[in-house]
């Protein structure tokens, strides 16, 4: 089965813990809520991960430095290809496609480079989305 054909068979979101996905190829993945927030596919978070990779002393945005526990407050399916998660810090701009969720599976470190960046993070920067 090609990666683009792998889809969730079952989703179980525990808003204060994490998202469990049973995939069509039999694999089961678990994503803690804080990990999903950190790995948000939004342009803002991709750029922040790149900046943190370049400079470990990067100052985090105010809402990320909070000592409050991150939880999901809402989730909605986006067509047949993604889930949108809203977090208690107000972040709600990332669409987690099935392909992206497979890419960031915490149990599959081969999807990240030696710096922890995903293939998606290594694409062109948001300020130059066409890579020109």
- Tens of pLDDT along the chain (132 residues) come to 444 589 999 999 999 999 999 999 999 999 999 999 999 999 988 888 898 888 888 777 655 555 578 999 999 999 999 999 999 999 999 899 999 999 999 988 665 554 456 655 555 544 554 444
- Against a cut of 0.85, is the pTM above it? no
Which tens digits make up the pLDDT trace of 55-76? Answer: 888 777 655 555 578 999 999 9
Angle, CA 52 vertex, CA 47 and CA 57 arms, to 5°:
140
Q: What are phi and psi of 83, to 5 degrees?
A: -130, 140
DSSP state of 78: E
Which tens digits make up the pLDDT trace of 43-54? Answer: 988 888 898 888
CB 83 within 8 A of CB 74: no
Which among 16, 13, 11, 14 has a CA at the least distance from the CA of 88? Answer: 16
Q: Which domains are present in the chain?
A: 3-56+68-111 (3.30.2020.30)
């Amino acid at each position: 089965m090609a990666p683009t054909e792998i889809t969730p068979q079952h989703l179980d979101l525990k808003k204060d813990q994490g998202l469990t996905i049973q995939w069509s190829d039999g694999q089961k993945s678990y994503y803690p809520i804080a990990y999903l927030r950190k790995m948000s596919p939004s342009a803002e978070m991709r750029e922040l991960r790149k900046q943190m990779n370049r400079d470990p002393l990067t100052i985090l945005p105010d809402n990320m430095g909070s000592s409050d526990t991150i939880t999901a407050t809402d989730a909605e399916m986006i067509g047949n290809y993604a889930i949108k998660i809203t977090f208690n810090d107000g972040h709600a701009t990332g669409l987690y496609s099935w392909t992206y969720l497979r890419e960031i599976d915490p149990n599959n470190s081969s999807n990240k480079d030696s710096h922890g960046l995903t293939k998606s993070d290594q694409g062109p920067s948001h300020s130059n989305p066409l890579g020109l």
